[in-house]
Amino acid sequence: MARRATLAAFVAELRTIGLPISVAENVDAMAAVLAMPIADRVALKSALAATLVKSADHHHAFEVVFDLFFGDSRVGIEDLTEPAAGTAAANGNAAAANGSGRPGIVAGLSDADLDDLLFRAMLAGDQVLIRAAVAEAVSRYADVEPGRPVAGVYYLYRTLRRLDTERLLARLVAADGPADLSEMDRALAAERRRGQVDDLRTEAEAEIRRRLVADRGAAAVARTLRVALPEDVDFLNASADQLAAIRQTVQLLGRKLAARLVRKRRHHRRSALDFRRTIRQSLANGGVPAELVFRKPHPSKPEIMLIADVSSSVAAFAGFTLQLANAISAEFSRVRSFAFTDGIEEITDDLSSATDITTAVRRISSRPGVVRLDGHSDYGMVLESFWERWGPQIRAKTSVIILGDGRSNYHASRSEVLRAIRQRARHVYWLNPEPANNWDTGDSIISEYGKFCDEVVECRNLRQLKEFVEVLD
């Protein structure tokens, strides 16, 4: 019964994160769990993944939460099929017994011997031994303090620093390369080793989570961890891994959005009647206008000018937005991009030749034209020079989109320039990556600009960015 409760809690947690799991899917998951004949964790995971996770983007979140709730390898399907079994065991207890029990062989080793053991295990690719060594390393170096409501990042840092993964990688690569190996083999082997060391990090992370779950129970750890789906990750405080995940999602999103826009344009049926062709057509039916002919829809293809703040605080957000806009640039008659901190430059050509826009943006953000003085954003100055240099090129079908947090470091706002831009342009939008309740705090003067925008849109994550792009015209 307790295990069934675990499954219910597991589904509840996934729903809290934002996975859309319907009642029918929940029942499917139960049926799938019962249908899998063998009691092992991998099978359980397959069954749950196939029934609950219907998007590849959500898989990572699923995996982390799965490890929290079913991390103990002894939680098998038999517990789910036997309603009477294990009533006494609260879900943390069994894990605790497992987590604290040190494997006998590794416990007695000195620190140097442990390093050596790990090195040899990785050289041979012995997963069981690696796992044992990592578990031991975590108990020695991480100093997990019971009862502290943390997500474990600090423990991971401590463990990995002590294990010195860089040196480990160097040792592994060196051990791989006897003289007779070709260059090619060596390069490929080095790459494989790097993958192995990355896996080590994942393993340590999982081990620490197992300890945390043993200490506080899966639900509590899930609460502090709160894995975010890629589309919900906040641009401004995403980790490097999350940024990579977002970048991949943006790529896919660009393709999907473009396809949808094309379809939307094609199905646009509200065009005017083409009288001449209707009459011409009717001659075939003896003058009866059986079929009405409409004018071909003439999709409005707006021109877009994207003005992006690329100063360090919001650079990631600017990068994704530029990437997305360029991915769907075929849907607009033209997309021009501008980058600024306290100076402004057009970067349209840099982006069209770049394969990876986010790194291109990072490079651009330190260019002399973009940084005039100190590289702290000065919105007033920038708007003014934009108006002087490119103002005459703004036309009635141009939408101007400004990307930035509106934090002008206490410089003058010169919002009257924005009013002038607004008068020439079709629309002026402002996308702000900060949460709306931080607007106008400190040096943020967003509402001063907001007066002259069609709309100021909070754009903290991919979901919001996507919503904005979809209605853009």
Partner 1 sequence: MTDQQAWEHAAARAVRPSRLGSPERTAQGLREVGYLPDQHIASVVYLGEQLAKPVLIEGPAGTGKTELAKSVALMSGMRLIRLQCYEGLDEAKALYEWNYRKQLLRIQVGQTGQAVGDGRGPDGAASWSDVESDIFSEEFLLPRPLLAAIRSPEPVVLLIDEVDRLDVETEALLLEVLSDYQVSIPELGTVTATQTPLVFLTSNNSRDLSEALKRRCLYLFLDYPSAEREQEIVRSRVPGIGERLAEQVSGLVRSLRAMDLKKRPSVSETLDLASTLYLLGAEEVTPQLAADTLHVLLKYQSDIEKAAAELTAKR
Of 259 and 330, CB closest to partner 1: 259
Of 355 and 437, CB closest to partner 1: 355
Give the nearest distance from C-beta 59 to partner 1 in angstroms: 7
Give the nearest distance from C-beta 33 to partner 1 in angstroms: 8
Chain CA centroid to CA 144, Å: 29
Distance between CA atoms of residues 117 and 119, nearest Å: 5
Residue 323 backbone phi and psi in degrees, to 5: -60, -45
Task: Confirm if 377 and 371 have CB atoms less than 8 A apart.
Answer: no
Tokens of 137: 């390393």
Of 117 and 200, CB closest to partner 1: 200
Task: Confirm if 458 and 432 have CB atoms less than 8 A apart.
Answer: yes
Of 62 and 235, CB closest to partner 1: 62
Of 246 and 371, CB closest to partner 1: 246
Q: Could you give the 3-state DSSP secondary structure of residue 232?
A: helix
Give the nearest distance from C-beta 289 to partner 1 in angstroms: 25
Chain CA centroid to CA 404, Å: 19
| End-to-end alpha carbon distance in the chain | 55
Distance between CA atoms of residues 387 and 358, nearest Å: 26
Distance between CA atoms of residues 453 and 419, nearest Å: 8
Edge-to-edge strands, sheet with 398-403: 344-346, 334-340, 303-309, 398-403, 427-432, 455-458
Of 37 and 442, CB closest to partner 1: 37
Of 85 and 187, CB closest to partner 1: 187
Give the nearest distance from C-beta 273 to partner 1 in angstroms: 24
Give the nearest distance from C-beta 38 to partner 1 in angstroms: 7
Tokens of 152: 């474990």
Give the nearest distance from C-beta 355 to partner 1 in angstroms: 6
Return residues touching partner 1 (CB under 8 A): 4, 8, 20, 22-28, 30-38, 42-43, 45-47, 49-51, 53-56, 59, 83, 182-185, 187-189, 191-192, 252, 255-256, 259-260, 263, 355-356
Distance between CA atoms of residues 465 and 450, nearest Å: 18
Chain CA centroid to CA 129, Å: 33
Give the nearest distance from C-beta 362 to partner 1 in angstroms: 14
